[in-house]
Structure 1
């Protein structure tokens, strides 16, 4: 009987598949629901799950009696019930840093698009306008960008921002050290000093709604906000109000409280909110690196356990 691995998606990079060797791979399809995952676990009893889409909760874990490891195809593990996994002795791993370059570049692209009004100018030109005499962009050199989180993605973003001549401050209570040129500050200082804010932290129970009416009010008027992390970090109603009032000058958002973002969401009607569909980490290169990292993490847990049993 072949050992099975469930992938909560329709595909995996060929380079990652090659590493799975004799494992039998079961795919959940392009848009699996939580119940789909539960049903597939019951039907196939995988030893490991590689998580790309949907959530993996206690019901799926209980349905897969042989489950040893849940391996995230990326760095964010908020779609996995880690408490349930710990209670069942199931390891949760993440391919930390595999998509760092992709996400950091996307965050920078959103920052630049906000500062330079790229989508708005493009739309205006396509309707016959030439706004050279009236438009002024924001110059980022000499401005301060505040980073919430300086892990692999935040650190890479910081390096790019410094290369552009920006001052970088950051808050990260879990960082053992800060990247060169980055000043560690409190959140209160970060809100007060930053001309732009970029979020690079995981979503936890403690930081849900981190950017809300109260914290946005502490920021400089006209601050730019970029979120390529998790939608739950931002109170969307408060963000909408702040953009409409001018407290937030522009926002570049790649993640949302509900995904896919629902049709008719008020963000869609705000030209100073630049939107992308949670694709920060979606590049051909990151697809390979995340797949390979997820498989390596899965095999490490499964095969180390097997070697201990043999010994």
Structure 2
């Protein structure tokens, strides 16, 4: 670029970006919002730097932020879920919204399997008991997953990776996704009601929309098998959290592995905390060193792809 002209700005709603992604965006002035940017922070930064693009790591991109970013042409998600971006406000301005689709698929799929196994094998409670000096060999029985039915909600890149791993473990796989284009022959597509009725384990891999908020609730639990295992590495709003706790207490749900919450981070008095049968992680399913690089590069490449078409 001509040194007499300032580089166009790209705002990163986080404290850092992978070196590989920074190299892709070498012709841009990268500005960082920090690890926990508020709406006020982001409005101030876009007003100050007038970015041509935003890479979304943390926080929400609201209509007020979009309105304040006068030169904004593209909002690029550092990951696959774009529900933290107000897409209607972006569309009204003609601003492209992109996702680094599939960049963290392996990481999230592995974490979903880890939570499923952790729930089935009681890994966390048995570990805690061992450290307390207990030996529960004569009283504890884990859940064997071979031959059990795994029900998947969402058959995108993550859901299909989970299916492949579970198939290798000898599980029967059923799935629901009205947008699925092709599925392997070991996966049977069914109506969503059959997911509830047939599954021994239910794993969520769909985006959060207004239509599917609280998708899993008390009425759904009533249709499920007794002792079902629930895994959510997608979005917290897909599960009614109070209903899940009641289902755990009634033993309708054997255990649940939860990586996403309706409010993040959850408040100190959240209904999940100190609830037996819950295996919790802080929305880190897609957070690995490898995924960090892949998501950053994907977000950067998406920016270049949009701007190069202008």
Q: Shorter-chain TM-score category?
A: over 0.9
Deviation beyond 2 Å, 4+ runs, structure 1: none
Unaligned 5+ runs, structure 1: 306-311
Q: Distance in 1 between matches of 2:44 and 2:166?
A: 46
CA contact (8 A) 2:196 2:220 kept: yes
Unaligned 5+ runs, structure 2: 1-5
Query: Does 1:179 find its partner at 2:184?
Result: yes
1:263 corresponds in structure 2 to 268
1:27 corresponds in structure 2 to 32
Partner SS state of residue 267, structure 1: coil
Query: Does 1:248 find its partner at 2:253?
Result: yes
Q: Deviations over 1:92-146 (max 9, x none)?
A: 0000000000000000000000000000000001111000011000000000000
CA contact (8 A) 1:47 1:302 kept: no
CA contact (8 A) 2:216 2:239 kept: yes
Q: Distance in 2 between matches of 1:154 and 1:169?
A: 11
Q: Deviations over 1:135-175 (max 9, x none)?
A: 00000000000000010000000000000000000000111
TM-score, normalisation: structure 1: 0.97
Deviation of residue 266 (structure 1)?
2.4
Compute the RMSD of aligned alpha carbons.
0.7
CA contact (8 A) 1:146 1:170 kept: yes
Q: Deviations over 1:192-227 (max 9, x none)?
A: 000000000000011000000111111001100000
Deviation of residue 229 (structure 1)?
0.1
Q: Which of residues 193, 197, 201 in structure 1 aligns to 2:202?
A: 197
Q: Deviations over 1:2-44 (max 9, x none)?
A: 1000000000000000000120000000110122111111111
Q: Deviations over 1:46-71 (max 9, x none)?
A: 00000000000111111111100000
- Counting only pairs closer than 5 Å after superposition, residues 1-311 of structure 1 correspond to structure 2 as 1-305=6-310
Q: Distance in 2 between matches of 1:278 and 1:57?
A: 21
TM-score, normalisation: structure 2: 0.97
